[in-house]
Amino acid sequence: MLIDSHAHIQLDRFDADRESVLERAREAGVHAILVIGFDLETSRGAIALAEKYAQVYATVGMHPHDAKDLDDETVRIFRDLAVHPKVVALGEMGLDYYRDLSPRPIQKAAFECQLDLAEELDLPIVIHNREAYHDILPILQARRGKVRGVMHCFSGDVEIMNQSLALGFHIGIGGPVTYRKSEALQEVAQKVPADALLVETDCPWLPPQFRRGKRNEPAYVRAIAEKIAELRDISLEEIGEITTQNFESLFMAS
* Torsion angle (degrees, nearest 10) of CA 44, 102, 68, 203: 0
Residue-range domain boundaries for the chain = 2-252
For residue 220, what pLDDT is reported?
98
Under 8 Å between Cβ of 63 and 92: yes
SS3 assignment, position 199: strand
* The CATH number of domain 2-252, selected from 3.60.21.10, 3.20.20.140, 3.30.40.10, 3.40.30.10: 3.20.20.140
pTM: 0.98
* Local mean pLDDT, 10-residue blocks, the chain (254 residues): 98 98 98 98 98 98 97 98 98 96 97 98 98 98 98 97 98 98 97 98 98 97 98 98 98 84
Under 8 Å between Cβ of 236 and 226: yes
For residue 114, what pLDDT is reported?
98
Inter-axis angle of helices 221-232 and 183-191, to 10 degrees? Answer: 70
For residue 254, what pLDDT is reported?
62
Cis preceding-peptide flag for 92 (omega within 30 of 0): yes
DSSP 8-state class, residue 250: I
Closest C-alpha among 182, 164, 162, 166 to residue 174: 182
For residue 155, what pLDDT is reported?
95
